[in-house]
Amino acid sequence: MSPARPLWTSTATELIALLRSGELSATDLTRSLLDRIEEVEGDVRAFITLTPEVALAKAKAVDDARARGEDPGPIAGVPVAVKDIIATRGVRTTAGSKILHNYVPPYSATVADRLEAAGLPMLGKTNLDEFAMGSSTENSAWVPTHNPWDLDRVPGGSSGGSAAAVAAGEAPWSIGTDTGGSIRQPASLSGVVGLKPTYGLVSRSGLIAFASSLDQAGPFARTVADVALLLGVMAGHDPRDATSLPNPVPDYSAGLAGGVKGLRIGVVSQLMGEGVQSGVRTRIEESIALLTKLGAEVGEVSLPTFDLGIDVYYLIAPAEASANLARFDGVRYGLRVDAEDIVKMNSRTRAEGFGAEVKRRIMLGTYALSAGYYDAYYGKAQKVRTLIIRDFARAYENYDVLLSPTSPTTAFGIGEKTQDPLTMYLSDVCTVPTSLAGATAISIPCGVAPEDGLPVGLQLMGKALDEATILRAAYALEQELGPMPHPLLWGEPS
């Protein structure tokens, strides 16, 4: 790395090399990133809570360990940003909601504990759509996050703060969560890499629940190699999570350079047609040509039930949300609006504490679960979910990886879709099917759309627990594509 190049422009892998060689201290790196946050955060608004003291204390502990001749860990000292739906002991955790505006957990999520054990200083808690319900980070109770490529546009959602922090150079990598596309879609719109792990690969213990059969935490970074490193830290069995898988965690970095020669890649026809922006389609088609050039066997695959993915998701996810959010009642923690009796207290607390989108989804979910409608709506949605899983299984008989755009469009304007919830929901049309199947997928930037100069994301979907294959394919394509243009907010780094 050139001495004149700002540290915030570096990838996590580059920073790890500098830290381990002794050319850079964790404290100096953390201070540099805190300076970058101070410089641009007023424009981006990626964070809800900044934790400079926490970050610097952890960085000093890493430096002290190295000074004693100890090895604090292979990636220790590289700061991270954490989505504010992941519980952090002693640090405010709001889920982007007024109902948790002053909540400080007495415990940490398993994911947060694993980041701490790996020696990663936490820069702060990132902004999100309230309770992860949204596709633009405009549903946050605090402020909307702005896209570093164009500050008048959204960064995607619900993990928009985590994606924007990486895109803006405020953090080299970050943690988000993905329920129906909330890692992949903001990765696409913000021009970074984001991976949704297989359901159960990463513990949900301490993750504030939206939809329990769908939620998964996963990594953002600027490169596939960085995502592979961070996933290795996060993944693994956790006895505190009954849905946590007992499978051993492979070294996701080991096979990255294996190439795609002979890999069978299926392009999903249902996700390449009507509604896909022309510039998005252009960049995806160019990427398909590159994969063919690299030796992949590319074909087209039809998955008819994918057309039903949004319908199914917006019955199942709100139904689970209506049950999960019943715990926010003003009795045990969070906001409490007093009244003359407990029923009115519950009602007033929830009316004041929840935003419009959360209320909408609670009502949708409660209706779908109500007597007389359960079988017609929620029960039928679960049956169609099974059909989607079967469609995937049939596709993977002939293909190793499936391919589509991550988002049908590039980043849209702030305020452009807030008055039309259905249009907003359709932003996740490409990402929802994999979530319903409980499998894995990654989004990588594959250039910018010619009509607006904004980043385009390509999605690679894999079988459950086959993160290694999609990472290998993503890495090969990333190397062939070469460096992405920089966001507008980067300016011209000296």
- Half-sphere exposure of residue 399: CA atoms within 13 angstroms, side-chain side: 25
Closest to 175 (Cα-Cα) out of 46, 57, 63, 54: 46
Q: Which of 159, 182, 287, 404 is labelled catalytic?
A: 182
The answer to whether residue 205 is catalytic is no
Closest to 181 (Cα-Cα) out of 153, 201, 211, 147: 211
Separation in Å, CA 282 to CA 236, 411, 431, 457: 38, 16, 19, 12
- What would the pLDDT profile of 390-400 be if each residue is shown by its tens digit? 999 999 999 99
Which pLDDT value is given to residue 422? 87
Which pLDDT value is given to residue 404? 98
Which pLDDT value is given to residue 2? 45
Packing angle of the helix pair 278-293, 467-481 (nearest 10 deg): 100
The answer to whether residue 2 is catalytic is no
Query: Measured between alpha carbons, how far is 29 from 76 in angstroms, rounded to an integer?
Result: 12
Q: Which of 58, 83, 196, 417 is labelled catalytic?
A: 83
In 239-295, where does DSSP find H-type helix? Answer: 278-293
Which pLDDT value is given to residue 108? 98
Which pLDDT value is given to residue 5? 85
Q: Which of 135, 140, 158, 174 is labelled catalytic?
A: 158
The answer to whether residue 21 is catalytic is no
Query: Measured between alpha carbons, how far is 460 from 195 in angstroms, rounded to an integer?
Result: 10
Query: Measured between alpha carbons, how far is 120 from 123 in angstroms, rounded to an integer?
Result: 9
**Domain residue ranges of the chain, discontinuous segments joined by +:** 7-305+388-490
Given a contact cutoff of 8 angstroms between Cβ atoms, the answer to whether 223 and 193 are in contact is yes
Q: What does CATH list as the number for 7-305+388-490? A: 3.90.1300.10
pLDDT along the chain (494 residues), means of 10: 77 98 98 98 98 98 97 98 98 98 97 98 98 98 98 98 98 98 98 98 98 98 98 98 97 97 97 94 98 98 95 97 95 93 94 96 95 93 97 98 98 95 93 98 98 98 98 98 91 55
For residue 6, the tally of other CB atoms under 10 A from its CB is 15
